[in-house]
Chains A and B, each alone.
Chain A
Amino acid sequence: MRRRDLALLPAIGLAAPALAQSDQRPTVTVAVQKISNSNTLETPREQSNVGFRISTLYAESLIGTNWTGDMGQVPELASAWRRVDDRTVEFDLRQGVKMHDGRTMSAEDVQFSLAGARLFGSGEGRTRGGITAGQDGLEPQPEVIATARRTFPGLERVEIVREGVVRFINRTPDVTIEGRVAQNVGVILSRAAFEAAGNWLAWARQPVGTGPYRVVEFRPDQSLTFEAHDDYWGGRPPARRVRILEVPEVSSRINALISGEVDFATDIPPDQVAAVERNARFEVLGSPINNIRLIVFDQNHAMLRNPLVRRAMTHAIDRRAIVEALWAGRTEIPRGMQLEFFGDMYLREWDNPRFDLAEARRLLREANYRGEPIPYRCLNNYYINQTATAQVMVEMWRAAGLNVQLQMMENWSQIQEPGPTRGVRDWSNTHVFSDPVGSLARAMGPGGPLQRNREWTNEEFNRLSVELEGSTDRARRRVVFQRMLAIIEREDPGYMVLHTAATFVAKRRDIQWKASRGWPLDFRAGNLAFPA
């Protein structure tokens, strides 16, 4: 052995334990139906179920949601917050939060993320249309700005009180500021990384946040790879890497799980749960989430113009039978368009129109309905069990004397196309925060999709919706909310609640993990553990 080699021995001796201590954490591989609809990871551009599923892995808001618990608001990047007045909420920023670029999160990052160029652009406008998106520098796409304005409609400014304290100031009184800030549109990202990104698309493909995992590679329509962010304020992540693989076919996702190529497979239909669990090595977890499936009525349709016919339709559906038959009882029937996480705004005494065929027939007689066809536009299983549910409901309506005709469509545009053949359609409504403003007013109010699509409107409802959004009197808001429900679910139905949506994830049984009560996958320390 040469003298030079001998000199290396101590170094090798020192290196051996270090190698032994190298990162032994496993990689988690997840098969999903879709990674991102927009091929971006910027939350205001990817406002979809699939986007909600992954955004919590890499980005966080000032206020978080207790997804695996009661769905309540929890401190996240703000350690505390308080109301200054009806228009202002003050946030104490969590100290020492490291971002994925190694910088410490600052008040400027918060200001930039909630009220700056990331969401609202530079204000200089674009020289060309969206066709050049991603190539014209950092100006966000027009739909990003539109989504930001919709999320924070009353935002006046975000003010830095001092380092570590910021204020969200609204132009108008708003009791829902906290809920709006908790949405994933308002995640806090690195201003420096944004400015260094070069163009908006590059930024949107690799946003730099504070979440437990950082984006290392995004191959659109194929895979998304995260690495553990070991400086994460909430504890060292339990997985070294998280790989999200896009596997569109449900059978392929299940096969990938059973063959050991992936550890988790999402979007498992209820009728596949038993098939997966026949193998003792796997289990399916999941539960109702913060999304309600509903049927929308077009009050302009010749037969549905009369509210009595719509009321009859609401009484003709046996929701419990649908949940038992098609969901094996694994989801719930909410009491109207509300969830218990509304807290003091939850109306415990409210309920859906009861299943009562006699009442449905009586209402149809009163409406002088004589079996005229009512079209029902439906997509092929965009929602889990959608087609089967539609077929069951058509038969239930038939039993009440309603002639509802199913029309299979290919896309949302065809579903929403106005005209005399638009009658009934499927929809779902996500409760984006714990207040009826985040669901009922947002979706059904004067500016919501239901009314913008000219399917339904009601003058009193619209007046109340404005009051619900602006009022700070909580007792009065409860009264307003109940009256709104009475109008849109009972007197002049605009929709009919079916059941709470549920999502199911198949996984290796030996991995300890709890499914969230929403779309997000939670792979933080404390919610994910591997066998020794």
Chain B
Amino acid sequence: MLRFTATRLVRAAITIVMVVTFAFVVLRLSGDPAQIIMGADAPPEAVDAFRTAWGLDEPLWVQYISYFGAIFSGDLGRSMRDGREAIVLVLERIPATLALTVPALVIKLALGIPAGILAALYRNSALDRAVMMFAVAGFTIPSFVLGLLLVLLFAVQLGWLPSGGQESWRHAILPVITLGIGGAAALARFTRSAMLEVLGQPYIRTASAKGVAWRRVVANHALPNAAIPTVTIIGFMFGSLIAGAVVVESVFSWPGVGRLLVTAVANRDLAVVQCILLLVAMTMITANLVVDLLYGVLDPRLRGGARKAEA
């Protein structure tokens, strides 16, 4: 188990270095932050002063080494836009993003899994078709379209809810629903197909033939086995808690990490982008690690495999 975990941690570290390097190269080669941040109308002297002050006039490799040196010494740098520490800027935004993504995740789980299970259990019925119709619609409508439709209906036409901003819990309702519906639809489709695959297995037929009540067959044999692929997608959803609401945050003017990322990328605000990428990569890697460990819990054969690998 130790070796299993260590291997994954080494892989995770390599992934993070690659992500950070890729982002550094792409961001620095695709635009001069001084010109972008200072704007087209800034006096040339001001742009030059900015460039010198931030060391952007140094060769790229010097900037790269100095940036990595700072990261390894625990300094994630400062925002070139306003001079604040990048990590502080990012941490400030995380609660706002979690205020959307956590309730949305609850909606995804609460709607998506039962809908998928019911659709599978009543395959080819009217219920199945209705669930799948909504799932396909929810899955295929882009979140910005769904968001705008919800705003038009609930904010503009009915006037029940605010159209954007982050001033009260009411402001979170529409973005949470927008995020939740798309994810629930994806999860419903995934759960349904996982359940259908399991329900077709011989051991289900055997359990039924032995006279085990159908409810027990589903609860004790079908659901745990269908959970393995479903846990994978839930893991991805956990991984995207930090930066999974980029579009929705923009549509609803929600000041979370997603909007910060969009602004930082547009401004080539390297330290902030890198800080968010590091955070996202670490969240994703942690989620993957947890999913890997959960596989072992859900499937005793994998536990055995892990022990073997450790030996």
Take A221-B259, A221-B260 as given contacts and tell me if A246 and B253 are in contact as well, using a CB distance cutoff of 8 Å.
Answer: yes
Q: State whether the Cβ of B139 lies closer than 8 Å to any Cβ in chain A.
A: no
The interface residues of chain A lying within 8 Å CB-to-CB of B166 are 222
Q: State whether the Cβ of B296 lies closer than 8 Å to any Cβ in chain A.
A: no
| Contact for B82 among A39, A259, A261, A411, CB less than 8 A | A39
Contact A147 B42 (CB under 8 A): yes
B170-199 contacts to A, CB under 8 A, are none
Q: State whether the Cβ of B152 lies closer than 8 Å to any Cβ in chain A.
A: yes
Smallest CB separation, A146 vs chain B (Å): 4
Give the bracket for the number of chain A residues in contact with chain B. 35 or more
Q: State whether the Cβ of B101 lies closer than 8 Å to any Cβ in chain A.
A: no
Give the bracket for the number of chain B residues in contact with chain A. 35 or more
The interface residues of chain B lying within 8 Å CB-to-CB of A40 are 82
Q: State whether the Cβ of B208 lies closer than 8 Å to any Cβ in chain A.
A: no
The interface residues of chain B lying within 8 Å CB-to-CB of A134 are 82-84
Q: State whether the Cβ of B38 lies closer than 8 Å to any Cβ in chain A.
A: yes
**A255 vs B157: C-alpha distance in the bound complex, in angstroms?**
10
Contact B253 A252 (CB under 8 A): yes
Contact A38 B82 (CB under 8 A): yes
The interface residues of chain A lying within 8 Å CB-to-CB of B54 are 129-131
Closest to B160 in A: A259
**A252 vs B175: C-alpha distance in the bound complex, in angstroms?**
13
The interface residues of chain A lying within 8 Å CB-to-CB of B79 are 39
Take A146-B43, A247-B164 as given contacts and tell me if A413 and B31 are in contact as well, using a CB distance cutoff of 8 Å.
Answer: yes
Q: State whether the Cβ of A135 lies closer than 8 Å to any Cβ in chain B.
A: yes
Closest to B267 in A: A37
Most A Cβ at <10 Å: residue of B40, B42, B49? B40
Contact A143 B44 (CB under 8 A): no
Contact B41 A47 (CB under 8 A): yes
Contact B39 A47 (CB under 8 A): yes
A307-362 contacts to B, CB under 8 A, are none
The interface residues of chain A lying within 8 Å CB-to-CB of B42 are 47, 143, 147
A425-458 contacts to B, CB under 8 A, are 427-428, 430, 447-449, 452-453
The interface residues of chain A lying within 8 Å CB-to-CB of B155 are 255-256, 259, 261
Q: State whether the Cβ of A258 lies closer than 8 Å to any Cβ in chain B.
A: yes
The interface residues of chain A lying within 8 Å CB-to-CB of B84 are 134, 201
Q: State whether the Cβ of B111 lies closer than 8 Å to any Cβ in chain A.
A: no
| Contact for B50 among A142, A149, A255, A453, CB less than 8 A | A142
**A412 vs B84: C-alpha distance in the bound complex, in angstroms?**
24
Q: State whether the Cβ of B130 lies closer than 8 Å to any Cβ in chain A.
A: no
Take A38-B81, A427-B40 as given contacts and tell me if A146 and B46 are in contact as well, using a CB distance cutoff of 8 Å.
Answer: yes
Q: State whether the Cβ of A463 lies closer than 8 Å to any Cβ in chain B.
A: no
Known: A135-B83, A410-B31. 15 other contacts (CB 8 A): A37-B37, A130-B50, A134-B83, A143-B47, A146-B46, A147-B43, A256-B165, A258-B156, A259-B155, A259-B163, A261-B164, A411-B31, A412-B35, A448-B44, A452-B44
Q: Which residues of B contact A (CB under 8 A)?
A: 30-33, 35-50, 52-55, 77-79, 81-84, 148, 151-152, 155-156, 159, 162-166, 250-253, 255, 259-260, 263, 266, 268
